[in-house]
Amino acid sequence: MNKLPGWALPNLKEAQIRTRQEVSIEKNLFAVPAEMRQMGNGKHYYLRTYGCQANERDGETIAGILEKIGFTQCFTPEEADFILLNTCAVRKNAEDKVLGELGALKRLKKTNPDLVFGMCGCMAQEEEIVRILLEKYPHVDLIFGTHNIHRLPVLLYQAMMDKEKTVEVFSKEGEVIENLPVKRFGQHKAWVNIMYGCDKFCTYCIVPYTRGKERSRAMDDILNEIRDLQKEGFQEVTLLGQNVNSYGKDLHLEGGFAKLLEETAKLGIARIRFTTSHPWDFSDDMIDVIARYENIMPFIHLPVQSGDSDMLKIMGRRYTIEQYKELFDKITAKVKGCAFSTDIIVGFPNETEEQFQHTLDIVDYCKFDNAFTFIYSPREGTPAAAMEDNVPMHVKQERLARLNERVNAYAHERNEAYMGKTVRVLIDGPSKKNKDVYCGYTETNKLVNFSLKQGDVGDIVNVRITDIKTWSLNGEQV
Protein backbone atom coordinates (compact mmCIF):
# COMPACT_ATOMS: atom_id res chain seq x y z
CA MET A 1 0.00 0.00 0.00
CA ASN A 2 1.30 3.48 -0.83
CA LYS A 3 1.21 5.23 2.46
CA LEU A 4 0.76 8.97 2.27
CA PRO A 5 2.29 10.93 5.13
CA GLY A 6 -0.33 11.29 7.81
CA TRP A 7 -2.18 8.09 6.99
CA ALA A 8 -2.98 5.75 9.85
CA LEU A 9 -3.80 2.22 8.70
CA PRO A 10 -5.58 -0.42 10.81
CA ASN A 11 -3.50 -3.00 12.63
CA LEU A 12 -5.31 -6.06 14.01
CA LYS A 13 -2.42 -7.07 16.28
CA GLU A 14 -2.42 -3.70 17.99
CA ALA A 15 -6.20 -3.73 18.15
CA GLN A 16 -6.25 -6.77 20.45
CA ILE A 17 -3.85 -5.39 23.02
CA ARG A 18 -5.44 -4.83 26.41
CA THR A 19 -3.47 -2.88 29.02
CA ARG A 20 -4.32 -1.96 32.57
CA GLN A 21 -4.09 1.69 31.65
CA GLU A 22 -6.99 3.73 32.91
CA VAL A 23 -9.48 4.92 30.31
CA SER A 24 -9.58 8.66 29.89
CA ILE A 25 -12.91 10.41 29.89
CA GLU A 26 -12.58 13.28 27.42
CA LYS A 27 -14.93 16.20 27.90
CA ASN A 28 -13.32 18.56 25.36
CA LEU A 29 -11.75 16.33 22.74
CA PHE A 30 -14.19 17.17 19.97
CA ALA A 31 -13.49 20.59 18.48
CA VAL A 32 -14.09 22.18 15.10
CA PRO A 33 -11.26 24.41 13.83
CA ALA A 34 -12.50 27.81 12.63
CA GLU A 35 -11.97 27.21 8.91
CA MET A 36 -14.17 24.12 9.03
CA ARG A 37 -17.17 25.54 10.83
CA GLN A 38 -19.14 26.26 7.68
CA MET A 39 -17.55 23.86 5.25
CA GLY A 40 -20.85 22.04 4.72
CA ASN A 41 -23.00 25.07 3.99
CA GLY A 42 -25.15 24.37 0.95
CA LYS A 43 -23.86 20.79 0.80
CA HIS A 44 -25.69 17.51 1.39
CA TYR A 45 -24.61 14.27 3.02
CA TYR A 46 -26.04 10.82 2.49
CA LEU A 47 -25.39 8.41 5.36
CA ARG A 48 -26.12 4.71 5.30
CA THR A 49 -25.57 2.62 8.42
CA TYR A 50 -25.25 -1.18 8.57
CA GLY A 51 -25.08 -3.52 11.56
CA CYS A 52 -25.90 -3.25 15.22
CA GLN A 53 -27.44 -0.57 17.41
CA ALA A 54 -24.00 0.68 18.46
CA ASN A 55 -23.39 1.49 14.83
CA GLU A 56 -26.82 3.13 14.50
CA ARG A 57 -25.94 5.29 17.47
CA ASP A 58 -22.57 6.15 15.89
CA GLY A 59 -24.56 7.20 12.82
CA GLU A 60 -26.42 9.71 14.99
CA THR A 61 -23.10 11.15 16.19
CA ILE A 62 -21.77 11.37 12.64
CA ALA A 63 -24.96 13.14 11.51
CA GLY A 64 -24.66 15.47 14.51
CA ILE A 65 -21.09 16.39 13.57
CA LEU A 66 -21.90 16.90 9.88
CA GLU A 67 -24.84 19.17 10.67
CA LYS A 68 -22.71 21.13 13.11
CA ILE A 69 -20.39 22.01 10.24
CA GLY A 70 -23.26 23.04 8.01
CA PHE A 71 -24.22 19.92 6.04
CA THR A 72 -27.84 18.96 5.40
CA GLN A 73 -28.94 15.33 5.31
CA CYS A 74 -30.38 13.93 2.08
CA PHE A 75 -31.97 10.58 1.50
CA THR A 76 -30.88 9.65 -2.00
CA PRO A 77 -27.20 9.27 -2.96
CA GLU A 78 -27.81 11.22 -6.18
CA GLU A 79 -28.35 14.46 -4.24
CA ALA A 80 -25.25 14.10 -2.09
CA ASP A 81 -21.94 15.94 -2.00
CA PHE A 82 -20.67 13.45 0.59
CA ILE A 83 -21.68 9.79 0.68
CA LEU A 84 -20.72 7.90 3.81
CA LEU A 85 -21.19 4.18 4.46
CA ASN A 86 -21.02 3.35 8.18
CA THR A 87 -20.25 -0.34 8.02
CA CYS A 88 -20.42 -3.63 9.94
CA ALA A 89 -17.74 -6.32 9.98
CA VAL A 90 -19.44 -9.05 11.96
CA ARG A 91 -20.03 -11.37 8.98
CA LYS A 92 -18.72 -11.54 5.44
CA ASN A 93 -22.13 -11.14 3.83
CA ALA A 94 -22.53 -7.75 5.56
CA GLU A 95 -19.19 -6.73 4.06
CA ASP A 96 -20.05 -7.99 0.60
CA LYS A 97 -23.19 -5.85 0.66
CA VAL A 98 -21.13 -2.73 1.41
CA LEU A 99 -18.52 -3.48 -1.26
CA GLY A 100 -21.33 -4.08 -3.77
CA GLU A 101 -22.92 -0.79 -2.80
CA LEU A 102 -19.59 1.04 -3.12
CA GLY A 103 -19.17 -0.38 -6.60
CA ALA A 104 -22.70 0.54 -7.62
CA LEU A 105 -22.38 4.13 -6.38
CA LYS A 106 -19.15 4.76 -8.26
CA ARG A 107 -21.08 5.94 -11.35
CA LEU A 108 -22.17 9.07 -9.43
CA LYS A 109 -18.63 10.44 -9.65
CA LYS A 110 -19.09 10.76 -13.40
CA THR A 111 -21.92 13.26 -13.04
CA ASN A 112 -20.46 14.88 -9.94
CA PRO A 113 -16.64 14.78 -9.93
CA ASP A 114 -16.53 16.71 -6.64
CA LEU A 115 -18.50 14.00 -4.83
CA VAL A 116 -16.63 12.64 -1.80
CA PHE A 117 -16.98 8.96 -0.93
CA GLY A 118 -16.36 7.86 2.63
CA MET A 119 -16.37 4.59 4.50
CA CYS A 120 -16.28 4.27 8.28
CA GLY A 121 -17.38 1.85 10.99
CA CYS A 122 -16.16 -1.64 11.80
CA MET A 123 -15.04 -2.60 8.27
CA ALA A 124 -12.66 0.35 8.26
CA GLN A 125 -10.91 -1.26 11.25
CA GLU A 126 -9.95 -4.32 9.18
CA GLU A 127 -6.51 -4.45 7.54
CA GLU A 128 -7.71 -6.61 4.67
CA ILE A 129 -10.69 -4.39 3.85
CA VAL A 130 -8.64 -1.20 3.79
CA ARG A 131 -6.12 -2.93 1.53
CA ILE A 132 -8.93 -3.92 -0.87
CA LEU A 133 -10.39 -0.42 -0.81
CA LEU A 134 -7.06 1.19 -1.62
CA GLU A 135 -6.34 -1.28 -4.40
CA LYS A 136 -9.70 -1.77 -6.03
CA TYR A 137 -11.91 1.15 -5.02
CA PRO A 138 -9.86 4.23 -5.90
CA HIS A 139 -13.00 6.35 -5.86
CA VAL A 140 -13.16 6.06 -2.05
CA ASP A 141 -11.70 9.33 -0.80
CA LEU A 142 -12.02 9.00 2.95
CA ILE A 143 -11.66 6.05 5.32
CA PHE A 144 -11.88 6.49 9.07
CA GLY A 145 -12.30 4.09 11.98
CA THR A 146 -14.56 3.72 15.01
CA HIS A 147 -11.98 5.53 17.17
CA ASN A 148 -11.71 8.47 14.73
CA ILE A 149 -15.29 9.76 14.55
CA HIS A 150 -14.48 12.91 16.55
CA ARG A 151 -11.88 13.78 13.89
CA LEU A 152 -14.47 13.87 11.10
CA PRO A 153 -14.39 17.65 10.46
CA VAL A 154 -10.62 17.64 9.97
CA LEU A 155 -10.59 14.45 7.92
CA LEU A 156 -13.45 15.51 5.69
CA TYR A 157 -11.88 18.92 5.14
CA GLN A 158 -8.74 17.23 3.89
CA ALA A 159 -10.69 14.95 1.56
CA MET A 160 -13.21 17.51 0.32
CA MET A 161 -11.40 20.87 0.31
CA ASP A 162 -7.78 19.80 -0.12
CA LYS A 163 -8.85 16.89 -2.36
CA GLU A 164 -6.44 14.58 -0.67
CA LYS A 165 -7.19 10.90 -0.15
CA THR A 166 -7.48 10.47 3.60
CA VAL A 167 -7.14 7.34 5.71
CA GLU A 168 -7.18 7.52 9.49
CA VAL A 169 -7.90 4.35 11.43
CA PHE A 170 -6.58 4.06 14.96
CA SER A 171 -6.26 0.53 16.34
CA LYS A 172 -6.26 1.26 20.02
CA GLU A 173 -8.08 0.61 23.25
CA GLY A 174 -9.97 3.85 22.99
CA GLU A 175 -11.31 6.54 25.25
CA VAL A 176 -14.70 7.81 26.31
CA ILE A 177 -15.52 11.06 24.50
CA GLU A 178 -18.31 13.03 26.12
CA ASN A 179 -18.73 16.20 24.06
CA LEU A 180 -19.80 14.81 20.69
CA PRO A 181 -22.86 16.28 18.99
CA VAL A 182 -25.80 14.02 18.22
CA LYS A 183 -28.71 14.11 15.80
CA ARG A 184 -31.33 11.70 17.15
CA PHE A 185 -33.07 9.81 14.38
CA GLY A 186 -35.98 8.80 16.63
CA GLN A 187 -38.55 11.16 18.12
CA HIS A 188 -39.65 9.17 21.15
CA LYS A 189 -37.16 6.31 21.35
CA ALA A 190 -33.44 6.92 21.90
CA TRP A 191 -30.25 4.89 22.05
CA VAL A 192 -27.98 5.66 25.00
CA ASN A 193 -24.43 4.35 25.03
CA ILE A 194 -23.42 3.21 28.48
CA MET A 195 -20.13 1.64 27.48
CA TYR A 196 -17.96 0.97 24.46
CA GLY A 197 -15.82 -1.91 23.25
CA CYS A 198 -15.58 -5.53 24.29
CA ASP A 199 -13.06 -7.66 26.21
CA LYS A 200 -14.79 -11.04 25.88
CA PHE A 201 -12.87 -12.23 22.81
CA CYS A 202 -15.32 -14.98 21.81
CA THR A 203 -13.21 -16.94 19.35
CA TYR A 204 -15.37 -16.15 16.28
CA CYS A 205 -15.93 -12.45 16.90
CA ILE A 206 -14.26 -9.42 15.34
CA VAL A 207 -15.85 -6.84 17.64
CA PRO A 208 -13.10 -6.73 20.32
CA TYR A 209 -10.71 -5.84 17.47
CA THR A 210 -12.91 -3.21 15.83
CA ARG A 211 -14.20 -1.39 18.89
CA GLY A 212 -11.44 -1.45 21.46
CA LYS A 213 -11.49 -2.29 25.11
CA GLU A 214 -14.49 -2.40 27.38
CA ARG A 215 -14.88 1.09 28.81
CA SER A 216 -17.80 2.57 30.71
CA ARG A 217 -19.20 6.06 30.69
CA ALA A 218 -19.54 7.72 34.09
CA MET A 219 -22.96 7.05 35.61
CA ASP A 220 -23.73 10.75 36.02
CA ASP A 221 -23.07 11.42 32.35
CA ILE A 222 -25.48 8.64 31.37
CA LEU A 223 -28.20 9.72 33.79
CA ASN A 224 -27.90 13.36 32.71
CA GLU A 225 -28.30 12.33 29.09
CA ILE A 226 -31.46 10.40 29.97
CA ARG A 227 -32.82 13.35 31.98
CA ASP A 228 -32.32 15.58 28.94
CA LEU A 229 -34.08 13.02 26.74
CA GLN A 230 -37.00 12.97 29.14
CA LYS A 231 -37.23 16.76 28.98
CA GLU A 232 -37.31 16.53 25.21
CA GLY A 233 -40.27 14.14 25.44
CA PHE A 234 -38.58 10.80 24.79
CA GLN A 235 -40.56 7.83 26.12
CA GLU A 236 -38.07 5.02 25.72
CA VAL A 237 -34.32 4.58 26.10
CA THR A 238 -32.27 1.56 25.14
CA LEU A 239 -29.04 1.29 27.10
CA LEU A 240 -26.33 0.11 24.72
CA GLY A 241 -23.15 -1.86 25.17
CA GLN A 242 -21.54 -4.93 23.61
CA ASN A 243 -22.09 -6.50 27.04
CA VAL A 244 -24.04 -4.19 29.32
CA ASN A 245 -23.63 -6.61 32.27
CA SER A 246 -19.99 -5.52 32.47
CA TYR A 247 -20.98 -1.90 32.95
CA GLY A 248 -18.89 -0.18 35.62
CA LYS A 249 -16.37 -2.99 36.15
CA ASP A 250 -13.58 -0.84 34.70
CA LEU A 251 -14.61 2.04 36.96
CA HIS A 252 -14.72 -0.26 40.02
CA LEU A 253 -18.24 1.00 40.45
CA GLU A 254 -20.15 -0.63 43.24
CA GLY A 255 -23.40 -2.21 42.06
CA GLY A 256 -22.39 -2.24 38.39
CA PHE A 257 -25.13 -2.52 35.77
CA ALA A 258 -27.83 -3.40 38.33
CA LYS A 259 -27.20 -0.05 40.01
CA LEU A 260 -27.25 1.89 36.73
CA LEU A 261 -30.46 0.13 35.71
CA GLU A 262 -32.09 0.98 39.01
CA GLU A 263 -31.00 4.63 38.90
CA THR A 264 -32.33 4.87 35.35
CA ALA A 265 -35.65 3.32 36.40
CA LYS A 266 -35.95 5.84 39.24
CA LEU A 267 -35.80 8.71 36.73
CA GLY A 268 -39.28 7.61 35.72
CA ILE A 269 -38.94 7.45 31.92
CA ALA A 270 -41.77 5.26 30.57
CA ARG A 271 -39.72 2.48 29.01
CA ILE A 272 -36.20 1.20 29.53
CA ARG A 273 -34.57 -1.49 27.46
CA PHE A 274 -30.97 -2.67 27.29
CA THR A 275 -28.82 -4.71 24.94
CA THR A 276 -26.73 -6.88 24.82
CA SER A 277 -26.43 -9.12 27.87
CA HIS A 278 -23.86 -11.91 28.01
CA PRO A 279 -25.23 -14.97 29.86
CA TRP A 280 -21.91 -15.33 31.70
CA ASP A 281 -22.16 -12.32 34.01
CA PHE A 282 -25.92 -11.72 34.28
CA SER A 283 -26.18 -11.06 38.02
CA ASP A 284 -29.01 -11.90 40.43
CA ASP A 285 -29.10 -8.22 41.36
CA MET A 286 -29.87 -7.38 37.74
CA ILE A 287 -32.74 -9.86 37.69
CA ASP A 288 -34.13 -8.39 40.91
CA VAL A 289 -34.02 -4.83 39.55
CA ILE A 290 -35.66 -5.85 36.27
CA ALA A 291 -38.41 -7.62 38.22
CA ARG A 292 -38.94 -4.70 40.63
CA TYR A 293 -39.41 -1.79 38.21
CA GLU A 294 -42.38 -1.59 35.89
CA ASN A 295 -40.59 0.74 33.50
CA ILE A 296 -37.85 -1.82 32.81
CA MET A 297 -39.29 -3.82 29.94
CA PRO A 298 -39.67 -7.58 30.39
CA PHE A 299 -37.70 -8.46 27.30
CA ILE A 300 -34.16 -9.79 27.27
CA HIS A 301 -31.82 -10.48 24.41
CA LEU A 302 -29.71 -13.35 25.70
CA PRO A 303 -27.43 -14.74 22.98
CA VAL A 304 -26.87 -18.47 23.47
CA GLN A 305 -24.79 -19.05 20.27
CA SER A 306 -24.84 -22.87 20.65
CA GLY A 307 -26.69 -25.50 22.66
CA ASP A 308 -23.62 -27.65 23.22
CA SER A 309 -21.27 -27.12 26.16
CA ASP A 310 -18.16 -28.37 24.34
CA MET A 311 -18.92 -26.04 21.47
CA LEU A 312 -19.52 -23.14 23.85
CA LYS A 313 -16.09 -23.78 25.30
CA ILE A 314 -14.44 -23.69 21.89
CA MET A 315 -16.36 -20.49 21.17
CA GLY A 316 -14.92 -19.01 24.38
CA ARG A 317 -18.35 -18.29 25.83
CA ARG A 318 -17.55 -18.94 29.52
CA TYR A 319 -20.81 -20.80 30.36
CA THR A 320 -22.18 -24.31 29.94
CA ILE A 321 -25.59 -24.97 28.50
CA GLU A 322 -26.75 -26.04 31.99
CA GLN A 323 -25.73 -22.65 33.34
CA TYR A 324 -27.60 -20.95 30.49
CA LYS A 325 -30.76 -22.91 31.28
CA GLU A 326 -30.43 -22.12 34.97
CA LEU A 327 -30.17 -18.40 34.20
CA PHE A 328 -33.08 -18.57 31.76
CA ASP A 329 -35.24 -20.32 34.38
CA LYS A 330 -34.27 -17.85 37.09
CA ILE A 331 -35.23 -14.86 34.93
CA THR A 332 -38.47 -16.54 33.83
CA ALA A 333 -39.41 -17.25 37.45
CA LYS A 334 -38.72 -13.73 38.68
CA VAL A 335 -39.61 -11.44 35.76
CA LYS A 336 -43.31 -11.91 35.06
CA GLY A 337 -44.13 -12.54 31.40
CA CYS A 338 -40.55 -12.03 30.28
CA ALA A 339 -39.88 -12.52 26.56
CA PHE A 340 -36.53 -13.62 25.18
CA SER A 341 -34.62 -13.31 21.97
CA THR A 342 -31.28 -14.89 21.21
CA ASP A 343 -28.46 -15.20 18.68
CA ILE A 344 -27.39 -18.59 17.33
CA ILE A 345 -24.45 -19.55 15.13
CA VAL A 346 -24.56 -22.80 13.13
CA GLY A 347 -21.71 -24.44 11.28
CA PHE A 348 -18.91 -23.36 13.59
CA PRO A 349 -15.70 -25.22 12.59
CA ASN A 350 -16.14 -28.98 13.07
CA GLU A 351 -19.64 -28.75 14.53
CA THR A 352 -21.05 -32.29 14.61
CA GLU A 353 -24.64 -33.27 13.87
CA GLU A 354 -25.00 -34.19 17.53
CA GLN A 355 -23.78 -30.78 18.65
CA PHE A 356 -26.22 -29.16 16.26
CA GLN A 357 -28.99 -31.32 17.74
CA HIS A 358 -28.13 -29.83 21.12
CA THR A 359 -28.72 -26.40 19.62
CA LEU A 360 -32.18 -27.55 18.49
CA ASP A 361 -32.70 -28.87 22.04
CA ILE A 362 -32.03 -25.48 23.64
CA VAL A 363 -34.48 -23.89 21.21
CA ASP A 364 -37.06 -26.49 22.31
CA TYR A 365 -36.27 -25.72 25.93
CA CYS A 366 -36.43 -21.91 25.77
CA LYS A 367 -39.01 -21.50 23.00
CA PHE A 368 -37.52 -18.10 22.15
CA ASP A 369 -39.82 -15.29 21.05
CA ASN A 370 -37.24 -14.42 18.43
CA ALA A 371 -33.85 -15.71 17.36
CA PHE A 372 -31.26 -14.26 15.02
CA THR A 373 -29.59 -17.20 13.34
CA PHE A 374 -26.35 -17.13 11.38
CA ILE A 375 -24.00 -19.38 9.51
CA TYR A 376 -20.53 -19.03 10.99
CA SER A 377 -18.41 -16.60 9.01
CA PRO A 378 -14.60 -16.68 9.47
CA ARG A 379 -13.19 -13.28 10.50
CA GLU A 380 -9.55 -12.64 9.80
CA GLY A 381 -7.46 -12.27 12.93
CA THR A 382 -9.83 -14.20 15.22
CA PRO A 383 -8.79 -17.58 16.72
CA ALA A 384 -11.66 -19.45 15.03
CA ALA A 385 -10.57 -18.27 11.58
CA ALA A 386 -7.37 -20.28 12.06
CA MET A 387 -9.27 -23.50 12.91
CA GLU A 388 -9.60 -26.18 10.28
CA ASP A 389 -13.23 -26.78 9.39
CA ASN A 390 -14.65 -30.11 8.21
CA VAL A 391 -18.27 -28.98 7.82
CA PRO A 392 -19.21 -28.43 4.15
CA MET A 393 -21.20 -25.29 3.31
CA HIS A 394 -24.25 -27.25 2.14
CA VAL A 395 -24.44 -28.93 5.57
CA LYS A 396 -24.24 -25.53 7.28
CA GLN A 397 -27.03 -24.24 5.05
CA GLU A 398 -29.18 -27.25 5.70
CA ARG A 399 -28.66 -26.87 9.48
CA LEU A 400 -29.61 -23.20 9.28
CA ALA A 401 -32.84 -24.12 7.44
CA ARG A 402 -33.74 -26.75 10.04
CA LEU A 403 -32.97 -24.33 12.85
CA ASN A 404 -35.04 -21.54 11.30
CA GLU A 405 -38.02 -23.83 10.89
CA ARG A 406 -37.87 -24.64 14.60
CA VAL A 407 -37.34 -20.99 15.61
CA ASN A 408 -40.29 -19.81 13.50
CA ALA A 409 -42.62 -22.41 15.00
CA TYR A 410 -41.86 -21.21 18.54
CA ALA A 411 -42.10 -17.53 17.58
CA HIS A 412 -45.60 -18.27 16.31
CA GLU A 413 -46.45 -20.32 19.39
CA ARG A 414 -45.32 -17.52 21.71
CA ASN A 415 -47.47 -15.06 19.78
CA GLU A 416 -50.54 -17.31 20.07
CA ALA A 417 -50.62 -16.58 23.79
CA TYR A 418 -51.42 -12.93 22.92
CA MET A 419 -54.68 -13.71 21.10
CA GLY A 420 -57.55 -11.75 22.67
CA LYS A 421 -55.26 -10.07 25.23
CA THR A 422 -54.90 -6.33 25.72
CA VAL A 423 -51.33 -5.02 25.58
CA ARG A 424 -49.61 -1.65 26.04
CA VAL A 425 -48.18 -0.35 22.77
CA LEU A 426 -45.85 2.61 22.26
CA ILE A 427 -46.98 4.14 18.94
CA ASP A 428 -44.18 4.43 16.38
CA GLY A 429 -46.28 5.84 13.54
CA PRO A 430 -48.32 4.83 10.51
CA SER A 431 -47.25 1.51 9.02
CA LYS A 432 -45.20 1.67 5.84
CA LYS A 433 -47.65 -0.37 3.83
CA ASN A 434 -50.95 1.16 4.92
CA LYS A 435 -51.25 4.72 6.23
CA ASP A 436 -54.50 3.90 8.09
CA VAL A 437 -52.75 1.26 10.13
CA TYR A 438 -50.44 2.26 12.96
CA CYS A 439 -47.61 0.24 14.38
CA GLY A 440 -45.69 0.08 17.62
CA TYR A 441 -44.14 -2.30 20.10
CA THR A 442 -45.44 -4.07 23.20
CA GLU A 443 -43.48 -4.11 26.43
CA THR A 444 -42.20 -7.53 25.37
CA ASN A 445 -40.97 -6.06 22.08
CA LYS A 446 -43.64 -7.53 19.80
CA LEU A 447 -44.47 -5.51 16.72
CA VAL A 448 -48.20 -4.68 16.64
CA ASN A 449 -50.17 -3.31 13.67
CA PHE A 450 -53.42 -1.79 14.79
CA SER A 451 -56.24 0.61 13.99
CA LEU A 452 -55.78 3.84 15.93
CA LYS A 453 -58.85 5.48 17.48
CA GLN A 454 -57.16 8.25 19.36
CA GLY A 455 -53.67 9.26 20.36
CA ASP A 456 -50.53 10.10 18.51
CA VAL A 457 -47.04 8.96 17.73
CA GLY A 458 -45.12 8.54 21.00
CA ASP A 459 -48.22 7.74 23.09
CA ILE A 460 -48.63 4.45 24.92
CA VAL A 461 -52.07 2.99 24.25
CA ASN A 462 -54.03 -0.19 24.98
CA VAL A 463 -54.47 -2.52 22.03
CA ARG A 464 -56.52 -5.72 21.94
CA ILE A 465 -54.89 -8.44 19.85
CA THR A 466 -57.22 -9.84 17.20
CA ASP A 467 -54.86 -11.80 14.97
CA ILE A 468 -51.36 -13.18 15.15
CA LYS A 469 -48.54 -13.77 12.71
CA THR A 470 -45.10 -15.27 13.26
CA TRP A 471 -43.28 -11.93 13.55
CA SER A 472 -46.10 -9.52 14.40
CA LEU A 473 -49.52 -9.12 15.98
CA ASN A 474 -52.64 -7.37 14.67
CA GLY A 475 -55.07 -5.54 16.91
CA GLU A 476 -57.42 -2.67 17.59
CA GLN A 477 -57.10 0.13 20.06
CA VAL A 478 -59.43 -0.15 23.06
The reply on whether position 90 binds ligand SF4 by CB under 6 A is yes
Residue pair 418/477 in contact by the 8 Å Cβ criterion: no
Nearest-CA neighbor of 114 among 74, 85, 84, 141? 141
The reply on whether position 380 binds ligand 5AD by CB under 6 A is no
The reply on whether position 303 binds ligand 5AD by CB under 6 A is yes
Nearest-CA neighbor of 428 among 444, 410, 450? 450
| Residue 317: CB minimum distance to ligand 5AD, A | 10
The reply on whether position 56 binds ligand 5AD by CB under 6 A is no
Binding residue count for ligand SF4, defined by CB under 6 A:
13
Residue nearer to ligand SF4 on the CB measure, 215 or 414: 215
| Residue 95: CB minimum distance to ligand SF4, A | 10
Q: What is the largest CA-CA distance in the chain?
A: 66
Please name the residues in contact with 53: beta carbons below 8 A apart, sequence gap of 6 or more.
191, 238, 240, 275
Phi, psi of 230 (to 5 degrees): -60, -45
Gap between the Cα atoms of 252 and 340, Å rounded = 30
Residue pair 12/172 in contact by the 8 Å Cβ criterion: no
Residue 303 binds what, of ligand SF4, ligand 5AD, none (CB under 5 to 8 Å, by partner type)?
A: ligand 5AD
Nearest-CA neighbor of 366 among 413, 320, 432? 413
The reply on whether position 54 binds ligand SF4 by CB under 6 A is yes
Gap between the Cα atoms of 90 and 205, Å rounded = 7
Residue 415 binds what, of ligand SF4, ligand 5AD, none (CB under 5 to 8 Å, by partner type)?
A: none
Residue 374 binds what, of ligand SF4, ligand 5AD, none (CB under 5 to 8 Å, by partner type)?
A: ligand 5AD
Our measurement of the distance from residue 454's CA atom to the centroid of its chain's CA atoms, rounded to an integer in Å, reads 33
Residue nearer to ligand 5AD on the CB measure, 91 or 358: 91
Distances (CA, A) of 326 to 43, 292, 299: 55, 20, 17
User: Considering only residues 119, 122, 327, 345, which one is a binding residue for ligand 5AD as defined by CB under 6 A?
Assistant: 345
Alpha helices in 341-436 (DSSP H): 353-366, 393-416
Mask of contacts with ligand SF4, 100-139, x by CB under 6 A?
A: ---------------------xx-----------------
Phi, psi of 398 (to 5 degrees): -70, -35
Gap between the Cα atoms of 191 and 120, Å rounded = 20
Residue nearer to ligand 5AD on the CB measure, 371 or 468: 371
User: Considering only residues 377, 442, 444, 449, which one is a binding residue for ligand 5AD as defined by CB under 6 A?
Assistant: 377
User: Considering only residues 71, 204, 209, 328, which one is a binding residue for ligand 5AD as defined by CB under 6 A?
Assistant: 204
Mask of contacts with ligand SF4, 194-223, x by CB under 6 A?
A: ------------xx--xx------------
The residues that touch ligand 5AD, with contacts defined as CB under 6 A, are 90-91, 204-205, 303, 305, 343, 345, 374, 376-377, 379
Which residues of the chain form contacts with ligand SF4 (CB under 6 A)? 51-52, 54-55, 88-90, 121-122, 206-207, 210-211
